[in-house]
């Protein structure tokens, strides 16, 4: 895993983990008849910070405070400033998120050595997701259990 301070302009095949420090509003533009969205963000690790270009669906995946992992990313330079992006062939994933209510790191338990704690956190996160889906699901709305429903119609 590379550190932010080690990244160089023109470098490809970059694997890095960092935290989203800021995220600007997305801009929409048309290229070759197709609408594209881009937003600038700033990410950092313990060694420094770098500008991150977020494209299309990746924009909505992340929020300030999220820890992300970029695999096979690319570093470019624009106006003398280094910019990191997952690029055409890379991938960006959220490792932990503050917006989900309970941040759960996806690091391997063998690395953390805390199997029980991670297991408990994952159960909490699953439970929160289940509650959210039940609240949002129209099928889960309670049926009208009023005594007036149907009982008077039976002759």
For residue 118, report the phi and psi dihedrals to the nearest 5 degrees: -65, -40
Strand partners, 55: 38
> Tens of pLDDT along 55-90?
999 999 999 999 999 999 999 999 999 999 998 899
pLDDT of 99: 61
pLDDT of residue 100: 55
In angstroms, the CA 80 to CA 68 distance is 24
User: DSSP character for 13?
Assistant: S
Q: Is the separation of the CB atoms in 19 and 43 below 8 Å?
A: yes
**pLDDT over threshold 70, residue 44:** yes
Q: How much is the average pLDDT of 28-33?
A: 93
| Token digits of residue 105 | 């790191």
């Amino acid at each position: 895993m590379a550190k932010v301070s080690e990244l160089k302009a023109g470098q490809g095949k970059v694997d890095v983990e960092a935290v989203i420090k800021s995220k600007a509003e997305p801009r929409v533009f048309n290229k070759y008849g197709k609408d594209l969205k881009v937003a600038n963000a700033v990410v950092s690790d313990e060694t420094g910070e770098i500008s991150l270009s977020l494209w299309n669906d990746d924009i909505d995946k992340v929020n300030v405070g999220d820890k992300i992992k970029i695999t096979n990313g690319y570093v470019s330079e624009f106006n003398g400033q280094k910019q990191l992006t997952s690029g055409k062939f890379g991938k960006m994933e959220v490792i932990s998120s503050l917006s989900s209510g309970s941040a759960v790191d996806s690091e391997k338990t063998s690395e953390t050595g805390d199997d029980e704690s991670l297991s408990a956190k994952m159960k909490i996160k699953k439970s929160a997701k289940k509650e959210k889906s039940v609240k949002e699901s129209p099928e889960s709305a309670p049926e009208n259990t009023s005594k007036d429903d149907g009982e008077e119609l039976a002759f």
